[in-house]
Amino acid sequence: MPLGQVELALRVIAGLFVIVAPTLLFLGLWRGLEAMRDDELIQQAHQRAEMRDQSPTGPDWPVDALTDETSPLSETGLSVVTCDTCGTPNMEDATYCQECLTELE
């Protein structure tokens, strides 16, 4: 085989590698991420989103209502921390206020 044909064959192989390799790597990454998906983690995220939708978010929410049995936060059994800046009640494990984004103590 002359040198020109070998060079052409190597260029064709390199071109195929450049085209096919990223696609195969992407598909492998996609399948790996699907295999690592944690359904329990997704359920916890949905539960937190539902709790956030039910929780009081406005500064006009009466703080006395947080101790009431009908309050959404009292159903969860979590204690509440009130923001010093805006007065919004937040869950105890919150780092930042859900209304004004001030760091909670």
pLDDT confidence bin for 22, thresholds 50/70/90: very high
Closest CA to 78 of 86, 87, 90: 90
Per DSSP, helices labelled H in the chain are: 3-36, 39-54, 72-76
Closest CA to 100 of 79, 86, 82: 86
pLDDT tens digits along 49-90: 888 777 665 444 554 544 444 445 545 556 788 888 888 888
What average pLDDT does the segment 3-31 reach? 93
Burial of 25 by CB count in 10 Å (0-12 exposed, 13-18 middle, 19+ buried)? Answer: exposed
| CA gap 3, 33 in Å, rounded | 44
Bridge partners, 96 (sequence order)? 103
Task: List, as one string, the DSSP characters of 67-83.
Answer: GSTTSHHHHHT--EEE-
pTM: 0.33
User: Mean pLDDT of all residues in the chain?
Assistant: 78
| CA gap 21, 26 in Å, rounded | 9
Domain segments of the chain as ranges: 56-91
